């Protein structure tokens, strides 16, 4: 064999070996993730259909409604990170996420009804309701349609209606790549992107990579936990498709009577600030908190958000132990 032929053979063996190792890493990680989301939750068979949920902790009941790409697991993580302890956290998987199927009517109004039905099934007369990103839509619908169920409403980076500056993400080259991975529902595409070029999913989730790079290690790990929480993508894709339809309907926010707090950041790449400002202006007595930096995942603001939320709830007469 010639020297060139030997070199090519070595290269082919190296490529095949690297591909095999990568595939094994991916299969092992995917198996671990599927196992993780297969545990820690229950399914309530309601009139509207099956709803997956987690029920964790003790204290004031808190309904944690996740955003796009989430599930009950993200709902639990949001409550732990941004609200803290002292709550009984009820975290549903919204329509199309994990073990909650897509019903004939997947609208935010129907989702709000499902939230109310789940609380009733769990004998929870009233709860603090936290709606994050796309989860804010059904949180608002729950509050409007079932006001007796809501002790207080907290909307975090809400993907709500804004007539002049709608919630959206810029269509950069990297975001187009991420959109293709998501629209393909491909587990491997998202895993490979997260592994090889993590700045792409970070930006796709509404955070400037430079902001995260300058954050402390613990905060970088927290945010990367959110990036990984999208996996397995295929088990969340039906819900992501529902959430990808923009909110074009103005709701009668003036009818909300529950104490309300709205939180956003000026540098949120999803542009939730105009919607947050509009919601706070329309909801009677609503408190608006705006951070100059933090992005869609409120990078570096975890402790500030937690303090603001707990102060707000104390002012609403909800004592956290």
Summarize pLDDT for 256-312 with one digit per residue, the tens.
999 999 999 999 999 999 999 999 999 999 999 999 999 999 999 999 999 999 999
Please tell me the predicted confidence (pLDDT) of residue 183.
55
Please tell me the predicted confidence (pLDDT) of residue 170.
53
Indicate if the pLDDT at residue 179 is higher than 60. no
- Give the best-scoring range by mean pLDDT among 26-35, 49-58, 189-198: 49-58
Mean pLDDT, residues 27-41 taken together = 60
pLDDT tens digit sequence for 99-135: 999 999 999 999 999 999 999 999 999 999 999 999 9
Mean pLDDT, residues 67-71 taken together = 92
Kind of pairing between the strands at 60-65 and 127-132:
parallel
Give the distance between the most distant pair of CA atoms in the chain. 83
Lowest mean pLDDT among 46-50, 133-137, 206-210, 316-320: 316-320
Element (H, E) at 223: helix 217-229
d(CA 72, CA 64): 8
Which residue, 147, 134, 86, is CA-closest to 247?
134
Q: How confident is the model at residue 217 (pLDDT cuts 50, 70, 90)?
A: very high
Please tell me the predicted confidence (pLDDT) of residue 184.
54
- DSSP bridge pairs for 91: 54
Q: How confident is the model at residue 36 (pLDDT cuts 50, 70, 90)?
A: low
Lowest mean pLDDT among 57-71, 187-201, 204-218: 187-201
Of residues 26 and 310, more confidence is placed in 310
Average pLDDT, the chain: 85
Q: How confident is the model at residue 205 (pLDDT cuts 50, 70, 90)?
A: confident
φ, ψ for residue 149 (rounded to 5)? -90, -10
Mean pLDDT, residues 184-210 taken together = 80
Q: Tokens 């989702």 map to which residue?
A: 111
The residues, any chain, with a CB within 8 Å of residue 25's CB and separated by 6 or more, are: none
- pTM given for the model: 0.86
Please tell me the predicted confidence (pLDDT) of residue 157.
97
Indicate if the pLDDT at residue 175 is higher than 80. no
Of residues 68 and 246, more confidence is placed in 68
pLDDT over 70, % of the chain? 82
d(CA 298, CA 81): 11
Q: What are the CA-CA distances from residue 116 to residues 140, 257, 281 (Å)? A: 12, 17, 26
């Amino acid at each position: 064999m010639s020297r060139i032929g030997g070199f090519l053979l070595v290269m082919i063996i190296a490529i095949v070996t690297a591909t095999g190792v990568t595939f094994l890493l991916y299969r092992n990680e995917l198996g671990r993730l599927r196992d993780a989301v297969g545990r820690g939750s229950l399914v309530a068979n309601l009139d509207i259909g099956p709803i997956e949920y987690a029920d964790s902790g003790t204290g004031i009941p808190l309904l944690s409604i996740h955003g796009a790409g989430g599930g009950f697991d993200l709902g639990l993580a949001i409550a732990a990170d941004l609200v803290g302890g002292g709550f009984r956290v009820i975290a549903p998987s919204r329509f199309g996420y994990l073990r909650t199927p897509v019903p004939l009517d997947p609208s935010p109004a129907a989702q709000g009804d499902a939230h109310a039905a789940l609380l009733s099934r769990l004998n929870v007369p009233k709860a603090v309701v936290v709606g994050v990103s796309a989860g804010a839509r059904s949180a608002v619908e729950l509050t409007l349609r079932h006001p007796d169920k809501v002790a207080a409403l907290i909307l975090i980076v809400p993907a709500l209606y804004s007539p002049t500056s709608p919630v959206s993400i810029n269509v950069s080259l990297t975001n187009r790549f991420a959109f293709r991975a998501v629209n393909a529902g491909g587990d491997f595409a998202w895993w490979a992107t997260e592994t090889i070029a993590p700045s792409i999913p970070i930006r796709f989730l509404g955070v400037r990579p430079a902001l995260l790079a300058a954050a402390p290690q613990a905060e970088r790990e927290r945010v990367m936990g959110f990036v990984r929480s999208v996996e397995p993508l295929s088990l969340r894709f039906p819900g992501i498709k529902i959430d990808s339809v923009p909110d074009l309907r103005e709701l009668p926010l003036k009818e909300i009577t529950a104490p309300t707090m709205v939180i956003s950041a000026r540098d949120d790449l999803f542009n939730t600030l105009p919607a947050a400002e509009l919601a706070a202006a329309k909801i009677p007595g609503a408190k608006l908190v705006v951070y100059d930096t933090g992005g869609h995942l409120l990078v570096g603001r975890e402790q500030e958000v937690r303090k603001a939320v707990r102060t707000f709830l104390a002012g609403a007469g909800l004592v956290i132990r």
